[in-house]
Amino acid sequence: METVKKFAVNHPQITSWIVLAIGMVIILVWSARDVGFTASQWVALIITTILLAGACVWIIGWEDDEDEEEETAAENEIVEAQTESQEDS
């Protein structure tokens, strides 16, 4: 269990992808169970659903990258201001 927690902390996007893909596949199977797909159609749908979940997590991750860049820029400005105030003293 500790290994799973460590993996989730170290790889949050992959973990999100796995969890979202599992949920989406369950919903797909539940909603299309009576349609009468062949085995190859099921495989194609499930693979496409897993890839779609990955694309969703990737797109949501763009916002995280932007937030990190903004935080880094703000931290750099604070450090520069502190350095300038120490030089003036």
Span 34-59, mean pLDDT? 95
Q: Structural domain boundaries of the chain?
A: 2-88
Cβ proximity of 24 and 48 under 8 Å: no
Q: What's the pLDDT at 53?
A: 97
- Per-residue pLDDT at 74 exceeds 80: no
Q: What's the pLDDT at 16?
A: 94
Q: Could you tell me which residue, 11 or 51, shows the higher pLDDT?
A: 51
φ and ψ of 68, to 5 deg: -65, -40
Question: Which structure tokens are listed for 26?
Answer: 């369950």
